[in-house]
Copies of this chain bind each other. A is one copy, B any other.
Amino acid sequence: MAMDSVDQKWSTAEREIMEATYRAMLEHGYPGLSISRIAEQFDKSKASIYYHYDSKDELLVSFLDFVVDQFKTNFAEEIDEDPSSALNTVIERLVPLQMNDEEFQGRIVLIELRSQATRNEAFREKFTEINELLVTSICEIIERGIEDGTFRDVEAARVAEHIVATVNGSTIDRVTTNREVAPAAVRLSLSSYIDSELKSCQ
């Protein structure tokens, strides 16, 4: 299951196809994704894609895997020892105050794929995995903070669920509305929530 590196999970050709798929999806969206449009995004033909993938469905499941792996890799980067700053880092990573184009586009792709999880069980399992990863990671940080006295003795799992829901809701807002102040407001209220919920009630 766990691999040393992403490079061993996909061959060069497959990775090229995945990256072309990513670009095609950014340009045309999930409903507009077609084999021809993927082929347009790199230097090989439609038919070559079918050498590597039996069907469009199989390709899409692989693509989801590819995108989720990227997300996980990105999320798992060095997290501080100190529970309080670890939590800050995680939140800054999930709801950055400033987002560059690349990050923003990554969110768009994820949301579009996510909406397909409503009818596709393979997709659904992947997003269950993502949310579970987020909740578990945050939960562990909170538990560490409770142990070393940084945080109050709260129900860590419940607080983690809350944070993840808020973070996801904020992301959706940012990507599907023009409400430009909202993310900043949520960042503030999230800090306030963490303060009042986790720090001692002075």
Contacts and interface: CB of A to CB of B under 8 A. Distances in A.
Interface of A: 29-31, 108, 111-112, 114-119, 123-125, 127-128, 131-132, 135, 157-159, 161-162, 164-170, 172-173, 175-179, 182, 185-186, 188-190, 192-193, 196-197, 201
B176 A124 contact: yes
Contacts of A177: 117, 124, 127-128, 131
A124 B132 CA distance: 29
A16 to B, nearest CB: 24
A158 B189 contact: yes
Of A124, A159, A176, the most chain B CB neighbours within 10 A belong to: A176
A185 B157 contact: yes
A162 B118 contact: no
A132 B162 contact: no
Given A29-B116, A132-B179, A196-B197, A165 B158 contact: no
A167 B164 CA distance: 11
Contacts of A135: 182
Given A169-B170, A197-B193, A115 B112 contact: yes
Contact of A114 (B161, B172, B190, B193): B172
Given A31-B31, A124-B178, A165 B170 contact: yes
